[in-house]
Amino acid sequence: MELTTRPDQDARDSDATLVARILNGDEAALGVLYDRYGALVFSVSQRILRDTGAAEEVLQDVFHQLWRVAATFDLARGSLSSWLMVMARNRSIDRLRRRVLPVAENLTETLPPARLNLESDVAQNEMIRRVRSALDSLPEPQRKAMELAYFEGLTQSEIADRTGDPLGTVKTRLRTALGTLRRAFSES
Amino acid sequence: MSGHPQFEEDFELYALGVLDGSEKAALEEHLPACADCRRKIEEARTRMSLLALSAPPVAPPDGARERLIQRFRADMARQSDRRQIRSNVVQFRPRIWAPVWAAAAVLLLAAAAWLAVENHKLAAQLAQLETTHRQLEESEQQLREQGARAEAALDILTAPDTVKVELTPVAARPVPHGKAFYNPSQGLLFYAANLQTLRPDQTYELWLIPSEGAPVDAGLFKADLRGNGEVILPPLPHGLTAKAFAVTVEPAGGVPSPTGPKVLIGPVS
């Protein structure tokens, strides 16, 4: 006979509730957030760094940062999943290119009122499908330029150097791609 | 130029950190005065964060979850220790102790006069006590700032992933000595002893030698009359892996890359 339904309840808790519990030293809450977002954070770090050890260091670092700055989070305003993904990418690019990307690590500064909610597997899978489908819809040169910008952190001139294309062409490709993505992401 | 960006996509490019120098500078010049553009950048940052979802899904290594929980447990235990230390420190209120120190200073003053004016040892103690007295009278704000720095220092000293590096002299004499406590995500503390006092147009410069690339300036410092110097929490790029630390003598004001003689060097073991 089940004496408690706590694990099921944990998995249904909102990000805001779990962060509040983490601030009280509740390691079970950290475990739930890790189960919810750990694979996302690790996947983006692994894609950028292509090194399992380094990607795990970023994963550990991002979650460590989470409980260090959790007290400053305003989860009524911002999305934790966005913060984690921004952090995962920035820390990874930082390691890859020894360059510091502009980022505010305080959620209230980093994120706008967010409609983005990836707390459930269903929501995550649906958003993953939309993002992939939007990227797949881009012509190959645009998709390549976006990948170099996002996953390698190259500037527009660096992308031009890498691909051998004129800078103007690279700029046009990125801007066109970003316009397409913005429309795709904002469709409901 | 400080108008709104010409293209909507500039917000995304900025949020991605891939806008080139002059375009980035123009946008950054405009941002402080424009709440609307700041909001657009935040929205772009959220949109761009979604690109993370296009990474091929990979499960984290076995044991990563347990390692994270262990680290959390250790951090929480340290925090609880620190709260204990802080509560002890809080009881040490300057207002309560100031009269005690003041009385002690007066007593010492009288004693010094009575014993012997040339009693250098006692005079030194008195000076020290007066200094302590003055320090205790500093504002609570200053104490809080010092507390925050002490806490940051404690974080570095107690973090399991902090490396401790002994720096030894390049030349046999005199025998300067340095210790660096470095944590790539939290910062650097550096203490040196037995250093020679430099000419006014010179300075000691501490260098972090990264595992790749050129040495990074980790701060300037002077040696005091006893040859002691320190660099506490210098601004450094986040997450830099250090191969070694070194101290050189440079022109006052410091230099972007080392030119002068190495006084101390220590590899990260």
Domains of chain A, earliest start first: 1-117 (1.10.1740.10), 120-188 (1.10.10.10)
d(CA A26, CA B82): 18
CA distance A4 to chain B (A): 22
Nearest Cα neighbor of B224 from B252, B192, B197 is B197
Q: Is there a contact between A156 and B50 if contact means CB atoms under 8 Å apart? A: no
Residues 98-157 of A with CB under 8 A from B: 98, 100-103, 110-112, 114, 116, 124, 127-128, 131-132, 135, 146, 149-151, 153-157
pLDDT of residue A107: 44
Q: Do B12 and A178 touch (CB under 8 A)?
A: yes
Question: CA-CA distance, A68 to A73, in Å (whole number)?
Answer: 10
Residue B116: how many CB atoms within 10 A of its CB?
10
From the CB of residue B216, how many other CB atoms can be counted at a distance below 10 Å?
18
Mean pLDDT of A140-159: 94
User: Residue B11 and residue B45: Cα distance in Å, rounded?
Assistant: 8
| CB contacts < 8 A (A, B) | 162
How many Å apart are CA B232 and CA B225, to the nearest integer?
19
Chain B residue whose CA is closest to A108: B42
Contacts of B109 (CB under 8 A, 6+ apart): B126
CB-based contact B178:B267 (threshold 8 Å)? no
Backbone angles phi, psi at A67, to 5 degrees: -80, -20
A chain contacts of residue B59, beta-carbon cutoff 8 Å: 39, 42
Q: In a 3-state reduction of DSSP, which class is residue B230? A: strand
Q: What is the DSSP string of B13-25?
A: HHHHT---HHHHH
Residue recorded with tokens 């220590």 = B266
Note the pLDDT tens digit of each residue in A86-133: 889 989 998 887 755 554 444 444 444 455 677 778 888 888 888 899
Q: Are A166 and A160 in contact (CB under 8 A)?
A: yes
Phi, psi dihedral angles at B239 (to 5 degrees):
75, 15
Residue contact B239–A181, C-beta within 8 A: no
Residue from B66, B77, B75, B4 nearest B39 by CA: B4
Q: What is the pLDDT along chain B (269 residues), one digit of tens a residue?
A: 457 887 778 888 888 888 887 888 888 888 888 888 888 888 888 888 889 999 999 999 999 999 999 999 988 888 777 666 656 555 545 556 666 667 777 777 777 666 666 666 666 777 777 676 666 665 555 666 667 777 777 778 777 778 777 776 665 556 888 999 999 888 888 999 888 888 888 999 999 999 888 899 999 998 888 888 999 888 888 888 999 999 999 998 888 889 888 889 999 88
The tokens for B107 are: 């007593």
Are B180 and B266 in contact, with CB atoms under 8 Å apart? yes
Give the model's pLDDT for residue B247: 95
Residue carrying structure tokens 């073991």 = B269
Chain B residues close to A94, C-beta within 8 Å: 237-239
State the pLDDT at residue B103: 77
Q: How close B145 gets to chain A, by Cα (Å)?
A: 18
Q: Do B42 and A61 touch (CB under 8 A)?
A: no
pTM above threshold 0.80 = no
Nearest CA in chain A to B28: A102
Residues contacting A104, CB < 8 A, separation 6+? A110
pLDDT at A2: 39
Cross-chain residue pair B71–A156, CB shorter than 8 Å:
no
* Binary contact (A27, B72; C-beta < 8 A): yes
> Which residue would you say has higher pLDDT here, B1 or A145?
A145
Which residues of chain A neighbour B58 with C-beta distances below 8 Å?
Answer: 39, 42-43, 46-47
